[in-house]
């Protein structure tokens, strides 16, 4: 587990020497023991891709509810771009689980660190280093290739988690690149809105120290145990 944590730190802080106290704090937030219990759970061993995601949803007893028409909106075949807001750390799980009820040819745009932490989702992930910034030509080509083959591409155009404010969750500005992807490949565009939120301590940490909140993702995901995620 230390090897994974160390690699995550290197990815988030390339060519940077991290002070001992800060690394200790990041390690505590990351939760190696919690991560180990999750990754080596017997219900997840030898599973990958959609099968692994669905097993995690079952393990966490997440209730991913969708309105009936949502399934009708997802074509059974052909290039499809699914776009969604991004309120919680488990939106990706919820979206893949929901879409997999109709399709199996799924790719999701996510932070490039995700398959480092969870190699089980490598086959599902197109990893982006700067989620809120400009995509590399290589990654854009990978997305286009998947759509040309008639696959489903899941995107949270905000590129990062919503911020908490006194008036509620605030989405970051959406990157309009998903429209170009859909039009270029004559893909169906399916909007999904997820209702849910992270813990207040997570949003508070993200407000004052985004780097630390990035390390809290696994602990935060487990806080959603037994919760309901609604897609409308």
* Contact (CB, 8 A) for 220 and 198: yes
Instruction: Examine the pLDDT at 210 and tell me if it is beyond 90.
Output: no
CA 84: distance to chain centroid? Answer: 11
What is the tens place of the pLDDT at every residue in 121-145? 999 999 988 655 556 788 889 999 9
pLDDT at 81: 97
The mean pLDDT of 166-176, rounded to a whole number, is 85
Q: What digits encode the pLDDT tens for the residues 76-101?
A: 999 999 999 999 999 999 999 999 99
CB 142, CB 126: distance < 8 Å: yes
Q: Give the model's pLDDT for residue 25.
A: 92
- Each residue of 19-47: pLDDT tens digit? 999 999 999 999 888 888 888 888 998 99
Q: What is the pTM of this model?
A: 0.90
């Amino acid at each position: 587990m230390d090897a994974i944590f160390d690699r995550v730190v290197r990815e988030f802080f390339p060519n940077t020497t991290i002070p001992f106290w800060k690394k200790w704090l990041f390690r505590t937030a990351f939760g190696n023991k919690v991560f180990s219990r999750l990754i080596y759970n017997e219900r997840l061993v030898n599973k990958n891709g959609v099968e692994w995601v669905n097993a995690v949803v079952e393990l966490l007893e997440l209730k991913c509810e969708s309105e009936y028409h949502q399934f009708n909106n997802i074509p059974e075949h052909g290039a499809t771009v699914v776009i969604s807001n991004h309120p919680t750390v488990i939106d990706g799980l919820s979206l893949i689980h929901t879409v997999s009820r109709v399709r199996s040819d799924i790719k999701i745009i996510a932070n490039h660190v995700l398959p480092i932490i969870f190699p089980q989702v490598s086959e599902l992930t197109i990893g982006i280093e700067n989620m809120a910034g400009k995509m590399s030509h290589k990654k854009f080509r990978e997305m286009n290739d998947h759509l040309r083959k008639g696959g489903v591409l899941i995107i949270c155009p905000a590129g990062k988690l919503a911020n908490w404010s006194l008036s509620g969750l605030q989405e970051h500005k959406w990157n309009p690149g998903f429209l170009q992807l859909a039009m270029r490949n004559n893909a169906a565009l399916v909007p999904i809105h997820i209702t849910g939120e992270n813990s207040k301590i997570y949003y508070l940490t993200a407000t004052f120290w985004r780097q630390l909140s990035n390390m809290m993702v696994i602990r935060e995901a487990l806080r959603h145990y037994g919760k309901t995620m609604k897609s409308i």
